[in-house]
A and B are shown apart, each in its own frame.
Chain A
């Protein structure tokens, strides 16, 4: 005992200050020389009861059976550790031999610590960690299967997280750690005016500065593949408890298809609006082209009824005949125009320019000879155009028959038709060597179907123009004596 007196106080101090701990020292006869610590009381003992008592006498048999070997080995100089669960908690016991300077074991020491709280905490940590791992795996699975591209960057621009969709969408390698390297592979522009974004305007940069973007659309072009897409960006800053931005999240959605559909819808709406406007114009002309002559016939009938003079009656009848002819022409032109408005593109066919012109020459052979008008053509550059059946024929017949009327001056005239393809569009230029012809004036009459020159039979020209335009084509008057049909 004396040998340990100096150390005993130290061991007591240790036992008193280490929470949930007890220290036992026993001699070669397994008698306790020291038993201290708050755990002793929890086992129903006191220090006094244990000191001087024998290990085998104090503890119940199941305890001595379990621990005897440890006690013996300790006295043999072996350090051991035992973790065990008992009714009072989870313990860790260190068996430490106490030896002199020569290494002779003088006694054994057991440091027993109740680590129930620690074990519980450790278990909780393990459970939490497992739970977090499961959540991580779940999040990773979700992120990896998302169609949206995701990039999380820290405030230095280091990529913390990204997903396969980003790589697939942008067509760039996102394994890099530097966000600027991803940016360098792309040209990113605003969708409104096509201006290239500066580094500070990039969606992630905005979020790293505390800003937030919702549905901001950018136009993205891959520098290498030239692939173009529209991306909807949603970015958020990720802030810590002090409200400081630590990182930023960017979620990107490829909306190219949506954009394409939107553009298509816009285009269709505009086409529809344009068509409606033209239809309105056409209906206006129908009112004028049909109701006007009918009203004239009505008045002429009243005049015929009123007059007793044969000469006057003849005059009114001749005016009525003129009106009827006008009405007939008008009905034909309007019917064709209405058919064109309702024409379905699938029904369009190849219209051969040569065939149309040949037919015109045959039908108007007599008139062409009478006015000495030659019609020449060069359709080598474009032989035909896809258009509704008979519409192009109607338009060309209309234009040329009107030119015959202008040629009735008794002088030689010539009309040359020449086809071409420009920017994917087929055109037919018509150059007229006809005295006094002023195409600009004729077409400047605007929507007036029966213009000043109605007596020249030009009523169909506006319809022809409207007709072509209603089908996506145009009549462009180049000069007084030249015009171009564009398809």
Chain B
């Protein structure tokens, strides 16, 4: 099974964070999983480690609708970050089936894909494979 170093799960749903983290660990898809309950916490973590690629995520699973800083605000700030020393794959993961959200995501080049919850085992495996 292929694996990556670090995955960020950014979601305000505590149970979702738990189940997805458990899944990733169970399938041994990442060496480390870090969870954040809103975009602000996640962007702060990235900013702190801009020069430290080991501490930067390979993949971010980002929820759209969150308190404090939602997924869109996170991306707005993320794209302004310069000199990120790692290629990060960003996946929007949402329970929203609103096509406008999906269209909006398509229009942002930094977003690798838009996934509608629940994220399945096959999808998780594919994300990891895509990194290799």
Which residues of A are in contact with B by a Cβ distance under 8 Å? 283-284, 287-288, 290-296, 298-300, 302-303, 306, 319, 322-323, 326, 444-448, 450-452, 454-455
Contacts and interface: CB of A to CB of B under 8 A. Distances in A.
A303 B98 contact: no
Given A288-B95, A306-B26, A447-B65, A452 B12 contact: yes
Given A287-B97, A319-B18, A319-B19, A296 B67 contact: no
Contacts of B14: 454-455
A448 B23 contact: no
B15 interface: yes
Contacts of A298: 118
Contact of B16 (A295, A444, A455): A295
B58 interface: no
Interface residues of B, number: 27
B95 A287 contact: yes
Contacts of B22: 303
B67 A287 contact: no
Which secondary structure dominates where chain B touches chain A? loop
B20 interface: yes
Nearest to A454: B14
B84 to A, nearest CB: 27
Given A295-B95, A451-B67, A454-B12, 7 more contacts: A299-B16, A299-B19, A300-B15, A303-B23, A319-B19, A323-B15, A454-B14
A299 B96 contact: no
A452 B117 contact: no
A302 B16 contact: no
Given A448-B67, A454-B13, A295 B96 contact: no
A319 B117 CA distance: 17
Contacts of A452: 12, 37-38, 67-68
A287 B23 contact: no
A455 B98 CA distance: 27
B88 interface: no
Contact of A448 (B66, B96, B116, B121): B66
Interface string B34-62: 00011000000000000000000000000
Most buried by B among A300, A445, A448, A454: A448
Contacts of A291: 95-97, 116-117
A450 to B, nearest CB: 5
A314 to B, nearest CB: 14
